[in-house]
Amino acid sequence: MKEIKIGLIGWGTVGAGVTRILQKNSALISRRLGARLRLVRVADLNLKRDRGMKLAPGILTRDAARIIEDPEIDIVVELIGGLDPAEGMVISSLRGGKRVVTANKALLAERGKTLFREAGQVRRRIFFEASVGGGIPIIKIIREGLSANRISSILGIINGTTNYILTRMSEEGITLAAAVRGAKKAGYAEKNPALDLEGIDSAHKLALLSSLAFGGWADFSRIYREGINEITDEDIAYTAGLGYTIKLLAVAKQSPSGADLRVHPTLVPRRHLLSAVNGIFNAVYLEGDFSKSQIFQGEGAGQGPTASAVVADLMEAGREILSGNDSTPPFIATDRDLKLAPIGEVVCRHYLRIPVIDRPGVLARIASILGAGGISIDSVIQRQRYKRGLVPVILMTNQAREKALQTALDKISHLEVVRGTPVRIRVED
């Protein structure tokens, strides 16, 4: 049976999972592929840490160049993460005639335009299923299963850490800080979880999904982004009473003014399937012109699901090698940039929580400012006093343009009766 030789750079949690799958399911993989995937070399700076498995003598090395420069290796798996030196390793591997499999969403989102162009020039491909959605094969679904469709919108819960945190806050009534501590203790959050909490990780993934779905390169640096740092247990409780769940949502929509790409906390109606996606699970909701609405759900992180996606890419790259096909273009087109819609032009409903001094006429003053900006109020909830005599005024607006709402909020925040910054959460109905 033909052998396809693999070099693995980065033997951390996911790398160890890849090794485990290749060992445990070797016969199954060979039967389905028609060739043997053979791991011939593994590079990592830490060779002493116990991964719970043994490798044959001579496989382990601290020198990644022994993989990149080996002419016998067919596929390089890059799992070290980050931008440098990962970018140089990927480029060198491609120029050496190798196919590359990676889970590095940050690298592809921020420097992918260069990398995919390089792959096209040398007639090699970068496979990146594991970069988005963990065990959900969403990349393959978009580029193959839905390839006959014009995809009009994507709504994604694509960060398991923040979804776990928001779920804990919702189910247990705890604060954000307590939920973050719980996520760290459970191993779902890094020591510094800023990439997750600030929406950066979700924006990386959204850049890849929208580039793939909309047929042009999405500039990650221009994707609007808000994290969950300002979400409180009070907001969780108030919005639940209105029939909504708060999710950190990645949104991509085709609009007349361009691709509307954004990541932010969002109120999702409880009747929507995304509202029931809890814990570390991810889900992606797609709308195509012929496929209509579809949702795909699975574990979005963890050793097993991510390693499974990496090995699936290894098998696809292996089939490409077996077929002798070296002319297939890169999965993402880099010859044109997506025109992005300005965030100020986005139109949606909003939830507002405004902390005010309990005085007569406060609500009328707020309503007057909103009305002057062309923003109508759908409903009002005025809660009991809390925190040093303040009262939270809860408003749900009708459809409003982002720019107009922000202008109105700036004026409201300067009222002498308002204490603190008004909280705004967009609604996705």
For residue range 289-308, list pLDDT tens digits in order. Answer: 999 999 999 998 789 999 99
Count of CA atoms in the C-beta half-sphere (13 A) of 423: 24
Phi, psi angles (nearest 5°) of residue 273: -60, -30
Q: What's the pLDDT score for residue 387? A: 61
Question: In whole angstroms, how far apart are CA 329 and each of 90, 113, 141, 217, 334?
Answer: 17, 14, 17, 15, 11
The string of pLDDT tens digits covering residues 111-170 is 999 999 999 999 999 999 999 998 899 999 999 999 999 999 999 999 999 999 999 999
The string of pLDDT tens digits covering residues 255-280 is 999 999 999 999 999 999 999 999 99
Cβ atoms of 251 and 260 closer than 8 Å? yes
For residue 332, pLDDT beyond 90: no
More confident residue, 313 or 334: 313
Residue 87 CA to residue 74 CA, distance in Å, equals: 18
| Arithmetic mean of pLDDT, 363-380 | 95
Residue 231 CA to residue 175 CA, distance in Å, equals: 9
Q: Is the pTM of this model over 0.85?
A: yes
Count of CA atoms in the C-beta half-sphere (13 A) of 254: 13
More confident residue, 421 or 283: 283
For residue 374, pLDDT beyond 70: yes
Reported as a pLDDT band with limits 50, 70 and 90, residue 386 is low
The string of pLDDT tens digits covering residues 205-252 is 999 999 999 999 999 999 999 999 999 999 999 999 999 999 999 999
Residue 345 CA to residue 225 CA, distance in Å, equals: 15
For residue 319, pLDDT beyond 90: yes
Count of CA atoms in the C-beta half-sphere (13 A) of 329: 9
Summary mean pLDDT of the chain: 94
For residue 420, pLDDT beyond 90: no
Enumerate domains of the chain plus CATH numbers. 3-134+303-323 (3.40.50.720), 138-299 (3.30.360.10), 346-427 (3.30.70.260)
Which range is least confidently modeled, 15-24, 55-64, 174-183, 324-333?
324-333
Pairing between β-strand 258-269 and β-strand 224-225 as defined by DSSP bridges: parallel
- Phi-psi group of 286: left, alpha or beta (phi > 0 → left; psi -120 to 50 → alpha; rest → beta): beta
Residue 237 CA to residue 391 CA, distance in Å, equals: 15
Count of CA atoms in the C-beta half-sphere (13 A) of 326: 8
Picking from 285, 296, 327, the residue whose alpha carbon sits closest to that of residue 428 is 285
Question: In whole angstroms, how far apart are CA 208 and each of 123, 202, 355, 421?
Answer: 20, 10, 38, 33
Cβ atoms of 78 and 9 closer than 8 Å? yes
| Arithmetic mean of pLDDT, 351-372 | 93
Share of the chain above pLDDT 90, in %: 86
Q: What's the pLDDT score for residue 231? A: 95
The CA-to-CA distance between both ends of the chain, in Å, stands at 54
Cβ atoms of 419 and 355 closer than 8 Å? yes
Which range is least confidently modeled, 89-103, 281-295, 324-338?
324-338
Q: What's the pLDDT score for residue 383? A: 64
Residue 44 CA to residue 10 CA, distance in Å, equals: 5
CB atoms within 10 A of CB 98: 24
For residue 281, pLDDT beyond 90: yes
Residue 302 CA to residue 13 CA, distance in Å, equals: 8
Cβ atoms of 332 and 139 closer than 8 Å? no
- Phi-psi group of 289: left, alpha or beta (phi > 0 → left; psi -120 to 50 → alpha; rest → beta): alpha
Cβ atoms of 417 and 386 closer than 8 Å? no
Please write down the long-range contacts of 190-197, taking CB distance under 8 Å and 24 or more positions apart.
193/161, 196/159, 196/161, 196/162, 197/161, 197/162, 197/165, 197/227, 197/228, 197/229
Active site residues: 205
For residue 287, pLDDT beyond 90: yes
Q: What's the pLDDT score for residue 218? A: 97
Q: Which residue is it, tokens 């999972």? A: 17
